[in-house]
Structure 1
Amino acid sequence: MAYCYRHPRVETRVSCSNCGRPICPDCMTPTPVGMRCPECSQEKTRVVTGAAGGITAGGSPATFVLIGISVLAYFAETATGAGGFSASGSMVGDFGLRGVDVADGEWYRLVTSGFLHAGIMHLAFNMIALYFLGRILEPSIGTLRFVMVYFASLLAGSLGAVLLSSNLVVTVGASGAVFGIFGATFIIARGRGLDHIAGQIGLILGINLLLTFTISGISIGGHLGGLAGGLLCGLLIVAGERGRLGPSAKLIEYGGMVAIAVVSFVLALSLAEPFTGATFGALTLGSG
C-alpha cells in the first residue's frame, strides 16, 4: 500500500496518471485521462467539480450524440405510424432484438435494438438517466473510453436478453447500456475514493434493480447483462489507474473492453435460437 505524497499518513491505491505519484481522495482531480495530482492537473487540464459533487470537466459530446441518435430513432419509429409499440411492420419489428431473427443472420439487431424505444416514457427515462450519468462519467474517463463502456454494455445487455428471454420476444431500449454506465460509474467512483458519488449511484442502481424484478415487461436479462458489462469495464479502468495492468495498461484496458463487446456479440449470435414458425412474441423493454 502506498502513501499520498502530500499526506504521508494517508494510504492510497491510486496514482497520478501523469507523474505516477500516489494521491489520496483529497488530492485527486478527475480528468479525461484519469486521476491527476494537484500539480499535474493545473498544468494539463482544467476540471471543475459541480456543486452536487458530480464531475463536469470539459464536455460530453458522446453523451449528446448517443441521446440524439435515440431521439431521432424514436421520431423515425413514430413516422411509421406504429408509435414504437407495435412489433409488426414497424422499426421495432425490423430492428428490435428477437432471438429467431438474430439466428437467421440479422446480427445488427444486437446493436440497433439499443437505440429503439417502446414509447415516449421509455425513451425519456433512459435518456434522462444517460444525460446525468454521461455528464459525470464521460469527462472523467474520456470520450473514447466512455463510448467503449457504452457499447460493451449494450452488447452485454443484448447477450443477457438472448439468454433470458424467449426467442420470440422482441426487446428494445437503451436500458442495458444505461445500466452498464451505472455500474461503471459506481466502480470508478469507489476506486477513486469518491464515496459520496458511489453511494448515490449505488442507491439509484439498487432502486432500478428492484424495479427490474418487480415490473412486468422489463428485460431482466438485458438489464443484468448490461450491468455486468459495465461493472467489468469499470474494474478494468480502475485497475489501469492503480497501475495493476503494467506498462501496457491502456492497451490491456482498451483490449479488455473490446473483448467484452466481441465476446458478448459472438455468444449472442451462437446462442440465439432459430426460427420455429411462430409469430412475434411480447415486447420487452431494455435490451441494451
Structure 2
Amino acid sequence: MDTDRLPGCYRHPDRDTGISCTRCERPICPECMISASVGFQCPECVRAGSGTGHHPTANAPRTVAGGVVAADPHLVTKILIGINVLVFLAALADPALAVQLELIGGRYREYLGGPVHGVATGEYHRLLTSVFLHVQWWHIISNMIALWVIGGPLEAALGRVRYLAVFLLSGLGGSALVYLLSEPYVPTLGASGAVFGLLGATVVLAKRLRYEMRPVIVMVVLMLVLTFVPLGGALTVSWQAHVGGLVTGALVGLGMLMPPAGRHRALVQWGTCAVVFLLVAMVILIRTAELT
C-alpha cells in the first residue's frame, strides 16, 4: 500500500490533492476549492454557510486565484479551441489569409510575386494573430489537445479572466522572443507558445497547492526535449516561441497565484500582468528598431 499518496478530491476521487476544506476538512481539488477569508472551502460548505455567521466572504464563490467560480469552468478553453478551429478552416478556404496573420518579422517578404509587410513595418497584430493560426491538420490537433489537457484544469483554478490573461500574454511573449531571435523573413505560427505559457503557470499552481511536483516537471522536460530534438527532420519547431511562452506564463502565474488573499491581491495580479506586458513591448520595440 502506498502511504505517501495524497488523498483524492471528495467530488473527483481521481484527482489527488493536498488541500482540504477549512470547515469540513474534506480534500478538494482546484476545480472545487472556493477561496474564503481563511483557506479554502468546498461548494457544499459555502452553500451551507450562508447566514450562519461563518466567514462572510466565503458566500461569494472564488477560485484559488480569487476569480469567480463559473458554472462551466472550461468555457474559455472551449472558446479558444473554437477560434483556432475557425481560423484554421478560414485559412484552408483562403490561403492568402494565413499570409496576413502569420508572424513575419522583417519589413517585407515576397509572396506570389509581391511583397508582404511584416511586424517591422508596424503590423504588430501578427504577434498575436499568429497564435491562433495553423495550416496543417496535425499541427492544430496536437496544439488543441495540449490546450484542452493543460488549459482546462488551469482555467478552473484561475477563473476565466485571469486564465485568458495568462494565455494571451504567454502567446504574445512567445511571439516577442520569435521576433527578437528568429530570422526576420521566416514565417511562424501556432498556439504552442501560449500552451507552453499555460504549462508554466501550471507549474506555479502545483507549487502553490503543494502537489507532487515530479509529474509536472517531467511534463515540462519532455515538452522541452520535443522542442529541441528534431523528429526525423520532418517538423520545424520554434523553440523561441516555446521558451518565450513558458517563461512568460510562469511569470504571470507567479503574480496570479502567489499573492495571499486580501484586498491587495487583485492589484498585485494585474500589476504583474502590466509589468510583463511592458517587458514584452520593450523587446518588440528594440527588435523593430534593429530592423528599421
**TM-score greater than 0.5 by the shorter chain:** yes
Indicate the residue corresponding to 2:254 in structure 1: 235
Q: Which one has more relative contact order, counting CA pairs under 8 Å at least 6 apart? A: 1
CA distance in 2, matches of 1:57, 1:25: 21
Indicate the residue corresponding to 1:177 in structure 2: 194
> Could you report, residue by residue, the CA deviation over 1:169-221 in whole angstroms, capped at 9, with x for unpaired residues?
111000000000011011111111122xx433322221110011112521111
Identity of aligned residues (%): 32
1:39/1:126 Cα in 2 relative to 1: closer, same or farther (>3 Å)?
closer
Of residues 72, 84, 93 in structure 2, which corresponds to 1:70? 84
SS at match of 2:258: helix
Counterpart check, 1:96 vs 2:95: no
Instruction: Indicate the structure (1 or 2) with the bigger Cα radius of gyration.
Output: 2
Instruction: Point out the more displaced range, 258-267 or 110-119.
Output: 258-267
> Could you report, residue by residue, the CA deviation over 1:129-166 in whole angstroms, capped at 9, with x for unpaired residues?
10111211101110011001001101110111112211
Indicate the residue corresponding to 2:67 in structure 1: none
CA distance in 2, matches of 1:269, 1:183: 25
Within 5 Å, which residues of 2 pair with 1:213-228?
213-215=228-230, 217-228=236-247
Q: Which 4+ stretches in 1 moved above 6 angstroms?
A: none
CA distance in 1, matches of 2:149, 2:283: 31
Paired positions, count: 238
Indicate the residue corresponding to 1:282 in structure 2: none
Indicate the residue corresponding to 1:187 in structure 2: 204
CA distance in 2, matches of 1:32, 1:115: 31
CA distance in 1, matches of 2:34, 2:167: 17
CA distance in 2, matches of 1:265, 1:271: 10
1:68/1:220 Cα in 2 relative to 1: closer, same or farther (>3 Å)?
same
Structure 1 unaligned regions, length at least 5:
1-13, 48-55, 83-89, 276-288
One-letter code aligned to 1:260: V
Within 5 Å, which residues of 2 pair with 1:252-271?
252-271=268-287
SS at match of 2:188: strand
Indicate the residue corresponding to 2:161 in structure 1: 144
Query: Please, what is the CA RMSD of the aligned residues?
Result: 3.2
1:212/1:262 Cα in 2 relative to 1: closer, same or farther (>3 Å)?
same
* C-alpha contact (below 8 Å) 2:170/2:246 kept by paired residues: yes
Structure 2 unaligned regions, length at least 5:
1-18, 47-58, 63-69, 107-117
CA distance in 2, matches of 1:65, 1:259: 27
* C-alpha contact (below 8 Å) 1:32/1:138 kept by paired residues: no
